[in-house]
Amino acid sequence: MDTFMESYHFCVLHKDSICNIFYHNLGTFDPAGDHFRLVFARHSIEELRDLPKTQWNILPHIVSIYILFPNVVLVWQLDHVELWQIFPGNDPVNETIMQVSLYTPEECCSEKSKQHWDKNLELVLHVTENEDFPVGEGTQKGFYTGAQKNITFGLNEPALAKFHSTITDKLNESRE
C-alpha cells in the first residue's frame, strides 16, 4: 500500500517513465476518516496558467488516488480508473495477493481500443512489478534484520504517517 502514498520516489524509481510526466515534489493530502485522497499534478498542468480560473479543468492534468483503508486503492487516471485490492496470502505476514482491475469508460471493445487498454495495463504492471514492489520486498527484508526499531516519516509524507498510525490504532483497539 505504501508505494501509492507519496510521489517523491517517482524520479528515483521511475526515472524513465512516471518522472517525465508528474511533478515528484508536490501533492495534496485530504483525509476523510480512516481514508484519504492524494492528488499529484502532471507537468501539463502548466497549460492552465494562461487561462482564467473559471476555465480550469484540472482533471486531465492530475492523478487522483483514493486510499480506502485498509486494503483498497482507487486511482483516477486521465481516461480510466484502476482498482487495486490487496489481501493476505497463505502466509499472512510475508505474502500478499494483489488484484488490479482497469475500468474503462466504454465496454471493451474494438481491436484498437483493446490495444490501448492492454498497453495501459502493461505499463502499470511493468512499473509496479519491476520498480515498486522489488524495493518493497527489499525494505521488508531490511526490517527483519532488526537493525532499526522505528521508522520516522517526514512532513512530506503525511499519507504514510496517517496510514501507519491508523493501523497501529486499530491493532491497539483490537487488543483492548
List of residues contacting Fe ion (CB under 5 A): 3, 132
The nearest distance, CB 15 to Fe ion, in angstroms, is 11
CB of 82 to Fe ion, least distance (A): 13
- Cα separation of 57 and 37, whole Å? 18
- Residue 115 or 139: the one with the smaller Cβ distance to Fe ion is 139
Q: From CA 9, how far away is CA 21, in angstroms rounded? A: 13
Residue with Cβ nearer Fe ion (48 or 153) = 153
CB 16 within 8 A of CB 169: no
| CA gap 99, 27 in Å, rounded | 26
For the bound state, the minimum distance from the C-beta of residue 62 to Fe ion, rounded and expressed in Å, comes to 16
- For cell 474494438, what's the residue? 110
Query: Shortest gap between Cβ of 139 and Fe ion (angstroms)?
Result: 13
Q: How far is CA 50 from CA 4, 21, 46, 54, in A?
A: 31, 20, 8, 12
Q: Which is nearer to Fe ion, 3 or 48 (CB)?
A: 3
48 versus 136: smaller Cβ distance to Fe ion: 136
